[in-house]
Copies of this chain bind each other. A is one copy, B any other.
Amino acid sequence: MRILGGISRRRQSKSPATARPLGASGKLALLSETDIFRDLGPRDMAEIERMTAMTTCRRGKVFYTPGETGEVLFVLKHGRVNLFRINPDGKKLVLASVDAGTVFGEMSLVGQGMHDTFAEASEECTLCVMSRSDVEHLLVNKPQVALRFLELLANRLSEVETRLETVAFKSVPARLAAEILHRAEGAPDGRVDGVSHQDLADAVGSYRETVTRILNEFRRDGLIELDRLSIGIKDAPGLKALAES
């Protein structure tokens, strides 16, 4: 059985301890782009800038571990982050894969628990880190931010609910087809790169061998083409049909 230690080894950056802090230079520019802050004026943004730290994480870095990390909230500026849990056998399940603009973290203030949840950069990431008190302050004094936050949370809720339904109702091939299509969104060439079968298995809640087998079936059926760490979509409608179960 693949265990927790193995995961860290497999992907975790070998670079020095923690994420690298960013110079004050590009901080403001990055912050202004964020969804959650978009309603604020320049003066507010400057204030936020003073109270946040910005860091980057390279692909694969697990930058949040329950217990170890304090009570902070992350705002993802660039890149993509996987929030996942590990079960007692060491099996990993990706709860959510969040995009730039999303807020996440351990915040009892907002009840936003990351109980047992890890966060890892699935791509090169730029993150903004806020302390509990900063967030409290911000939410109380800037209602617009609270509203944006609300919106984000509601979207994540909706997403997880759909995921729950998917895991409960659909077969692994269906889930896999959906996952591939989802990951291909945004890539105009209809190609998913840098994703191992193991990654897909973690995402759909299955196993590496099963994913390999099913991907090969997909290829046999002319739905996709396969290369090392790369999947090319050849028949998107076909995949979509499969994804509907």
Contacts and interface: CB of A to CB of B under 8 A. Distances in A.
A167 B167 contact: yes
Interface residues on A, range: 35 or more
A139 interface: yes
A113 B165 contact: no
A131 to B, nearest CB: 17
Contacts of A139: 143, 147, 150
A150 B147 CA distance: 9
Nearest to A84: B165
B154 A107 contact: yes
A93 to B, nearest CB: 5
Contact of A164 (B88, B151, B167): B167
Contacts of A163: 164
9 contacts: A88-B244, A88-B245, A93-B168, A93-B169, A95-B161, A111-B151, A112-B158, A113-B158, A117-B161
Interface of A: 85, 87-88, 91, 93, 95-96, 107, 110-113, 115, 117, 139-140, 143, 146-147, 149-158, 160-165, 167-169, 205, 244-245
Given A87-B165, A149-B150, 17 more contacts: A88-B245, A93-B168, A95-B161, A96-B161, A107-B154, A110-B154, A111-B150, A111-B154, A112-B158, A113-B155, A115-B162, A140-B143, A156-B157, A160-B160, A160-B161, A163-B164, A168-B205
